[in-house]
Amino acid sequence: MEESLTHQATLYTTSADYVYSTLRREIITKRITSGTRLPEVAIASRLKVSRTPVREALRRLASEGLVLIIPNSGARVASPSRKEMEDAYVVREELECLAIRLACPRVTDRHMRRLEECILEEERAFEERNLERYLEVNEAFHRIITDAAGNRVLKEYVENILARTNVYIVFYDPFYIVESNPSVGEHRSIIEALKARDEELAVERMRNHIRLSKGSLFSGETGGR
């Protein structure tokens, strides 16, 4: 046990980081499924830590939308409703279409290089079926566009809605069972519109991309993200 804890310390800054990373990975890889209760005592015993870091880790997961904490009832893995997901994607569509419209005349060569790098990483993560890495890269792609928009308030809203919709991908997207990933092609088409500085085309392609993303959750077929 002592050797195990020493090894953990070399990988994580705190016990809370260790618990957070472990639970997050188990949720993303579907080892823990939607609606599952997350009792602090059982988690602390399994991961050989006290309840304090477990409580902190659960709060962090709740802030990301992966966990729901119910007063006097405890924590459980989130189980978002269809209505909640539809509402979130309506908001995301408007925010990201505004972001890409603002970004189109402002995007730099550095932004474009970073977007291209994201696509390469996205392809690699999909081939490896690494959903955790895939979500990170996908979120980075959309954040780069929002960075180029140059609006700090908009950036905060987009980051928030991206985190929320990524949670839906964890629970409902058939990432592990599909053979191809249309998201890469959709992302490339967005880059082409940005290179052309065509605001209307960029907005159209972003809107289509997000609608396909929403549709993939409800149809069982993979699509853009």
Q: Please count the structural domains in the chain.
A: 2
Instruction: Name the pTM for this structure.
Output: 0.79
Q: Which parts of the chain are beta strand (E)?
A: 67-70, 74-77
* Bridge partner list, 37: 76
Question: Residues 150-208: pLDDT tens digits?
Answer: 999 999 999 989 988 988 888 887 676 666 778 899 999 999 999 999 999 999 999 99
CATH number at residue 178: 1.20.120.530
In a domain, 199, yes or no: yes
Coil, strand, or helix at residue 58?
A: helix
Same domain, yes or no: 44 and 106: no
Same domain, yes or no: 64 and 137: no
In a domain, 224, yes or no: no
CATH number at residue 63: 1.10.10.10
Query: Domain range for residue 37?
Result: 2-77
Same domain, yes or no: 129 and 98: yes
